[in-house]
Structure 1
Amino acid sequence: MLKIRTASSNNADAALAGKECARKIKDALHDSKLVFVYSGVSYDQQALLKAIGEELPGVPLIGNTSFSGIVTQDGFITGEKGYVGIMALSDADLTVGTAAAAKSGSARETGRKLAESALAAAGKKEAPAYMYMVAPPGEEEYYLKGISDVVGRVPLFGGSAADNTLAGEWKLFAGKTITGDGAAVAFFYTKAAFANKYTGGYKETGKYGVITKIAKERTLVEINGKPALEQYREWTGASAKDTEGGNLLVRSITNPLGVKDPLGDLIAVRHPMNGNADGSIAVGNNLAVGTAIALLEGSTDDLIKAVSAALADLKAKMKGPIAGFHLVHCGGRRIGIGERINELTAAIKKEAGTIPFIVEFTFGEYGYEDDGRNTCGGLMLSFTAFGEK
């Protein structure tokens, strides 16, 4: 039977924070098979991971830096000098293989190598029951393609490493690898139940267009044959100043764009990150010419309500007892929620009840809906439940 425990700390000393968390886990669980680690960029990540590893020898660690803080049953944990939250999984019938690597060659090539290394670490040749991935913002789709080249389409959850200032200071890690440019994966072999709820929780406005020009996959140049910024301003009523440069990143949290999957089961949110001087928009994930793009909307109230709704939907997908929740929440949405973070925390705690959980805040989210393909998006929620059996 799967058992899960979480622990957190905002001790200013990274090593002491790691020891505090690991000792809480060690006292509560035996034979942990994996520990997720989410931390602040202010920490010395090597010291943090070394301290956790000394308390939990031989247990694979995987994770990344999280924007602004983390959330567990203890509440929202943050600190100027650092913070950390960990989640440990223990089950005699669970096998986990992890791997991490700095980028070598293309992202797709690196993804292939990671998949092969994770298979070897698990001592398996067959595809896992499900998998976790973390990458830096930028080439998530290609790391995923490389992994899928090796194991095929396997149910996915995870998110992109984040920092606190969009300065590229993020880190991801597994084993002895700590990198800001690469990826890490965990392959899970188990018969226990698993479910993922992947959603933006935004409403459609009824305003749609066709992507008529892009550049380098993540720059939206034209919608309906006109400059993308011009079309966005027409749709939203935003001013030129609202959409200039980095102003667009915050302005668009309540009015992002989205692309639908072929069956309409999922709207993958595309977060406008920067309004460029040439009228184009830098977007957080890949786009394709000739596809429809929709204007979405959601107030701060909606962003908080979406968390409760997603967690309720996730619980409904699980048939038996739930051991724990792994909740990936977009860092951009966290910016939109701002000082109301305690409302978000209360909403999660109310819906989770006594079930342990951890929330990380990311700069990209990965998941799937129903039997759909794995997707990378922004301004999304990727909520995962692990069954006891």
Structure 2
Amino acid sequence: MKTKVGYSVKADSFESGVETAKAATEGMTPKVGLLYTSVLNDQAQIMSGVKSVMNAPVVGCTSSGGIIVPDGVVNAEDHGFSGMMVLDDPDMTVGVAASEAGKDAREIGRKVAIAALKDAGLMKVPNYFYMVASPKEEEDYLKGIQDVIGRVPFFGGSAADDTVEGKWSIFCNDQVFSDGVAVVFFYTNKEFFTEYTGAYRETQNVGIVTGVRNNRTLVSIDGVSSLTKYAEWIGTTPDKLKGSELLGASICHPLGVKDPLGSLTIIRHPMFGDDMGTKTFDDDVINLGNKVVENTAIMQLEATVDELINSTGDAMKVVNKEMTQEAAGYFLVHCGGRKLGIGDRINEVHEQLVKEANGVPFITIFTFGEYGYHDHSANACGGLMLSFTGIGKE
């Protein structure tokens, strides 16, 4: 297995795709390209540029505010960017497929999985798979995929934009859309290992979810308005967490749910504080980035900005320690919200990644949802997390 990364900050989207693809494919015979761009780009033109250089399938999405590659943080704020990692292994087979959203996300997941199997020409379970979806129905797409192939380990993240306005895009070859799902199935004897973590510290602030609406609106904790309870936990008042103020305030103080065996704490990002149009606080709710379930425990977590930065190097250390093969590349999914919290110190993340990658190619993307598993847990979708995957060389 070989990997290579290319990127571009050219203003013309077609030329950006060409430059990215030429750099990523030089000396390579790619089996697949994983492509990430800015919402400022014309996605169809970037894909056309990439496809003018390489014939292999290409899957990806928009990344929030930039990407990180060995050369540095790539972000042309006025006209966008593109970056791609290609994988080259004569012994590997891939299958790709995508679908726009519809009425039944689980059924769409099933159809996409079947289409990816057919694309690979191998009607058997893959060794590993990558998923990208819009930040809305990830859990249901995943269920549908697993209805077809079972619990195969996976990695990936949700499409993102720069302002949480729904301007994100997903792409799979000639398809470009804002709402739906795409997958890459990998058939390989090379190792894929994912470290999936929030790397937050637990606090003593724990309660029972007593009210949920539409899967992702946390109505109440311990019978108390969720926003009121959360404000109490982090030492503030609900009026300071209204609307999108909650999104920034919760980056260092998110919520988390544990899997049944305690192997994994999956982060739930409080995104929007909704006062329900009333003047009282007893009905204020929290809109989350992922699903929660009534009668389960939810806890408040915490981390400093220093810890958010250091967690990237620490996650890479875990990947390197746990892999049994030398790494050919690293595919690093980093929450866009964590990036927002890190702010202008993002170059410190680059320094950590370069140090731990030690010359091996990598690409870091910034998502609005991260996917993975830990210590034989179920596959899961969370927010404010890291999903760092090492790809084995031999």
Please confirm whether the aligned pair reaches a TM-score higher than 0.5, indicating the same fold. Answer: yes
- TM-score bucket of the superposed structures, by smaller chain: over 0.9
SS state of the match for residue 10, structure 2?
coil
Greater Cα shift, 100-109 or 78-87: 100-109
- Could you tell me which of 344, 349, 358 is aligned with 2:349? 344
SS state of the match for residue 206, structure 2?
strand
SS state of the match for residue 208, structure 1?
strand
AA aligned to 1:89 is: L
Question: Map of 1:1-389 to 2, 5 A cutoff?
Answer: 2-29=1-28, 31-57=29-55, 59-79=56-76, 80-277=78-275, 278-389=283-394
Percent identity, aligned pairs only? 46
SS state of the match for residue 47, structure 2?
helix
SS state of the match for residue 124, structure 2?
coil
AA aligned to 2:288 is: V
Distance 1:242 1:260 in 2: 28
Q: CA deviation at 1:200?
A: 0.2
AA aligned to 1:273 is: M
Q: CA deviation at 1:240?
A: 2.8
Deviations 1:338-363 (A, max 9, x none): 00011111111111111100000000
SS state of the match for residue 242, structure 1?
helix
AA aligned to 2:297 is: A
Distance 2:210 2:3 in 1: 48
SS state of the match for residue 354, structure 2?
helix
Deviations 1:306-344 (A, max 9, x none): 111111011111012110000000000000000001111
Contact 1:255 1:298 in 2 (8 A): yes
Return 5+ residue gaps in structure 2 as ranges: 276-282
Q: CA deviation at 1:119?
A: 0.2
SS state of the match for residue 138, structure 1?
coil
Distance 2:258 2:160 in 1: 26
SS state of the match for residue 239, structure 2?
coil
Using the size of structure 2 for normalisation, the TM-score is 0.97
Distance 2:19 2:141 in 1: 34
Distance 1:73 1:103 in 2: 35
SS state of the match for residue 98, structure 2?
strand
AA aligned to 2:141 is: Y
Contact 1:40 1:163 in 2 (8 A): yes
Distance 2:24 2:74 in 1: 17
Contact 2:7 2:23 in 1 (8 A): no
SS state of the match for residue 352, structure 2?
helix
After TM superposition, the runs of 4+ consecutive aligned structure 1 residues lying more than 4 A away are none
Contact 2:47 2:173 in 1 (8 A): no
Distance 1:336 1:239 in 2: 21
Q: CA deviation at 1:255?
A: 0.3
SS state of the match for residue 342, structure 1?
helix
SS state of the match for residue 128, structure 1?
coil
SS state of the match for residue 55, structure 1?
coil
SS state of the match for residue 294, structure 2?
coil
SS state of the match for residue 28, structure 1?
coil
SS state of the match for residue 31, structure 2?
strand
Q: CA deviation at 1:104?
A: 3.1
RMSD of aligned Cα (Å) = 0.8
Contact 2:270 2:286 in 1 (8 A): yes
AA aligned to 2:304 is: S
SS state of the match for residue 6, structure 2?
strand
AA aligned to 1:85 is: G
Q: CA deviation at 1:239?
A: 2.6
AA aligned to 2:229 is: Q
Deviations 1:95-145 (A, max 9, x none): 000001112331111111100100000001111000000000010000101
Contact 1:100 1:175 in 2 (8 A): no
Contact 2:106 2:140 in 1 (8 A): yes
Q: CA deviation at 1:241?
A: 3.3
Contact 2:228 2:237 in 1 (8 A): no
SS state of the match for residue 32, structure 1?
coil
Distance 1:21 1:117 in 2: 28
Deviations 1:203-258 (A, max 9, x none): 00121101011111101111011111111111111233321111000000000000
